[in-house]
Chain A
Amino acid sequence: MKILIVDDEPEIIHQLKNALECQLYMVDTALDGEEALDKIFDNAYDLILLDIMLPKVDGLTLLSEIRKGNITTPVLMLTARDSVEDKIKGLDSGADDYLAKPFSIAELMARTRSILRRISENRATLLTVGDIALDTVSRKITVKETPVDMTLKEFSIFEFLIYNKGRVVSRFDLAEHVWGNDFDPFSMSNFIDVHIKNIRKKLGDDNHIRTVRGIGFIIDREQ
């Protein structure tokens, strides 16, 4: 899996690169629109993380350029602007998803995995951990092929944890993911534990969710 990060802020690139490389992705970077265009037309990437505000060629122009050049690589827009109009504009120009700054790495991982899964046809829609299988399309969970009845919230918490397999996910990030930006994640993060408790009960003893004291939860990568 090869990912290109386009952002004019070296520190952000550095952090994103670190995080993605931890997840065993290969990462390439570009600091401005021109450099990005060159790299995109020269290499085959599986995903492009694209900042909208870029020097030389801005993100939206760059996006329509590469779409005109028949490059269908999925693009995840990263931007400091997060109004609805900007979102629509981005998606209209051919972006696959949209992430407003500041975002958590957990959210980025989830979106990244989700996009990669969505666009690749040869990959199954099933995510598995141990005996647990999660179908991202039908939004069903089975344990040893027995369906488990989960609420919408519980499903999206578990899905988020699986997408971040091998990474600790904080309560706050979980809350933000589940309830969205409109809720106050400070008050909502207190309720993640209630949900986790319920999820564990439904999945049984072999649920793979490990509590990391003081921080959050993790589903460990299988050895």
Chain B
Amino acid sequence: MYKLTARQLNKHFLEGSLSAEAIVSYFLKRIEAFDPQVGSFLSLYKERALEKAGRLDQKRALGKPLGRLAGVPISIKDNIHVKGEITTCASKFLANYRAVFDATAVRLLEQEDAIILGKTNLDEFAMGSSTENSGLQKTFNPWNLSCVPGGSSGGSTAAVAARLSPISLGTDTGGSVRQPAAFCGIAGFKPTYGRVSRYGLVAYGSSLDQIGPIATSTEDIAMVMEVLGGHDPHDATTINAHPDEYLSILDSPIKGKVIGVPWKFLEDLPHEAKTLFVESLEVMKGLGCSIVNVDLNSLKYSVATYYIIATAEASTNLARFDGIRYGVRSSKAETLEQIYDYSRTEGFGREVKKRILLGTYVLSAGYQDAYYKQAAKVRVKIIDEFNVAFGHCDIIATPVSPFAAFQQGAIQDPLEMYLQDIYTIGVNLAYLPAISVPCGFNKEQKPFGLQFIGARREDVLVCRMAHAYEKATPFATEIPSIFNREA
């Protein structure tokens, strides 16, 4: 059963060849057997999931209408609220925080009869590219357990790659869905900014954050996106339009599509990643696409721009964690000011503190123009450049990451870690949709990802291109050998 996609599981459930209870029990058993090696889950909703499965089986038996995700088990990154359950953001600060409302994305999934298995690990408050910044536990890459899964949605991508959860919801602020999806050899989608409501997602960089699905196939991504997209009065930045239709047009031909490649921006691409990228372009040519060069040279500023804008927004967003209304209050504090100081100092991990300090610095009097305003202008320049590029092509292709998954603890220099996201960050700055699909392995059998970037609101085209590539190549069905067996 672990080899089935979410769409196949849903079909089996609807046809009656698998009960929801059998599906849920099966995946819970896999998680119990394999997750001690992977470390992807922070919490498991065993009773809740089985209870929901029982209700679905009853509904089906009675012939009642079933939702579009009926019988599909899903895991949720632990910075997204599920009412009544703990949301930790992988931070000691929120170790006891119990969500008092559902995130809109979670509500939509459950309305369509998806079954939530539990919550997955992340870099604390989604700040990181390896999941090593989790304040709660380590997560390991299913392809090589000594390596990181990528981040910040590393728990979600590791769970999907090890076939512990057919689908997971992640969040992508600078590449946090796409980069770990590439490191774990699966698909991860970052929708257009505003396509999926952020209500109930604990904010990191509000102008960059976007919830996105992670799965083993683009068809599963499409299935989830048909449910997730849509306007939400609780999030003023959501696009005022109905969800897009994906599945019916996913297979429509891509012949004649023009793919833009920013060769100058990619000039430092390491050999291994470049070889696989060039091979991927050949596949697309074989499918009838043409390749043109596009100028996206301002993307060389994207990491610098991101680390000003994201940290500025983070320092503001994380000001709410004061130890007064929720979260862990320091037991040493005797005065009100000490509650703020001690609770934050004890509750936040090192990377979170660093980003709050950096954000406070770039917003402080005397520096705001030089840092924040300048970064905001460069962001506009990047947006303008993307707009011009999309005048010459339908879609843009780049690698997801310059390297494959690295060893745990191998990167200590913060800047080197930040540069992991050099090919993904521009997408968030420009509010665009993009996907990561598996595009092959290096000699050490570590997966790489191919990224398709669409113009704003061209989410469906992004998925169509990825789907065509996926069908033409054998990589999406590869499973890490140690998990390619029954529990």
Note whether A and B form a binding pair: no
Please list the residues of chain A having a beta carbon within 8 angstroms of any beta carbon in chain B: none
